[in-house]
Amino acid sequence: MALPKLRSSLPSIRTPNFWFLLTIQEKSQLTENVLIVGSMALDDVKTPFGEIKDALGGAAVYSSIAASYFAPVRIVGVVGNDFPEEHVAFLSSRNVDLKGMQRAEGKTFHWAGYYDFDLNQAHTLETHLNVFQQFRPVIPQEYRSSKYVFLANIDPELQLQVLDQVDKPKLTVCDTMNFWIDTKKEALLEVLKRVDIAFLNDAEARQLCGTTSLVKAAYKLCEIGPKMVVIKKGEHGALMIANGTYFSAPSYPLEEVIDPTGAGDSFAGGFIGYVAGTDDISHDNLRKAVVFGSTIASFNVEDFSLRRLSTITRKEILDRYNEFRRIAFFE
């Protein structure tokens, strides 16, 4: 294949249109990998539009599938012996390398939650860490040089163990949730000191920083460590804030949201996947990455579990990305 030649014309790869003409196999020869660590789960979810039980979920799973639209993914996590083989087959069919996935005796991480009509607010009913309680991430040798690392939502102590095992990535991004702010705040603050970009939702940013202002919260977080903070506001879009820069992206005006589970994870996965796929951490490119993240998240919420995320086409992603440009256009 003539593919390697494309590397020398990398600037053209950075335009989204060209990028989407490549197949996943072509991309895997051209791009940087994303290393993703986080929960791999079986979820029970109830929304006003239905419910599912023991469905594929977990922060690392949502974010890996989202990132895989742009770059090859290496996942690190653990599943129990109840994790269905069809889920393993699905992940590996989507350009997700599973060498870093451990299988342990016991049950897979299990989360049960529900949403009322305010779909921005998840209500946790149960969190069973199960096999994650004994889990120690072991980063395979070939993963250690990954330039892009995403610490998806999981115990911040495990996130720190991952950071200890990787060799100077070009970009490290972390995500978390109120469960860890409540139970492991010190370790979480350590993680924040060591990453480049932190993702939080609005309620988590307010809770962690003890302020009602999201702008103040972002500046406070930047003082702790990360160079940049991305605050997810559900149906109200997302903010990317760094010292002296402020970017606000809308969310896609969906008329029907069926299940918001995994919106934050697919947003972050789409973001880091796009940055890795383009291997460009300039501020302008990070803005595009926020919009690609929002694009992928908007598909994810159209159905339960990973049903929609597993069927999107590249054309659909690009069309919706272009619609975002129209929605946000300003002279």
Nearer to ligand AMP, 7 or 123 (CB): 123
Window 149-188: residues binding ligand AMP (CB under 6 A): 153-154, 177, 179
Q: How many CB atoms lie within 10 A of CB 123?
A: 11
Site string for ligand AMP, 58-87 (x = CB under 6 A): xx----------------------------
Nearest to 291 by CA among 132, 80, 135, 70: 70
Task: For residue 286, state whether it binds ligand AMP (rule: CB under 6 A).
Answer: no
- Tokens coding 85: 């083989």
Nearer to ligand AMP, 203 or 214 (CB): 203
In DSSP notation, 287-331 reads: HHHHHHHHHHHHHHTTSSTTTTTTT--HHHHHHHHHHHHHHT---
Nearer to ligand AMP, 262 or 277 (CB): 262
Window 88-147: residues binding ligand AMP (CB under 6 A): 111, 122, 127
For residue 101, the minimal CB distance to ligand AMP (Å) is 15
For residue 305, the minimal CB distance to ligand AMP (Å) is 8
Nearer to ligand AMP, 172 or 305 (CB): 305
Residue 12 CB contacts under 8 Å (≥ 6 apart), including other chains? 18
Q: Binding residues for ligand AMP, how many (CB under 6 A)?
A: 18
Nearer to ligand AMP, 14 or 128 (CB): 128
Alpha helices, H only, the chain: 10-13, 16-21, 24-30, 59-67, 85-93, 156-165, 178-183, 185-194, 202-209, 214-224, 263-278, 283-300, 314-327
Measured CA to CA, the distance from residue 40 to residue 59 in angstroms comes to 7
Window 30-59: residues binding ligand AMP (CB under 6 A): 39, 41, 43, 57-59
- Tokens coding 125: 């009913």
- Tokens coding 105: 């005796």
For residue 197, the minimal CB distance to ligand AMP (Å) is 16
The CB-nearest residue to ligand AMP is: 57
Measured CA to CA, the distance from residue 269 to residue 62 in angstroms comes to 7
Window 239-278: residues binding ligand AMP (CB under 6 A): 261-265
Interface residues with ligand AMP (CB under 6 A)?
39, 41, 43, 57-59, 111, 122, 127, 153-154, 177, 179, 261-265
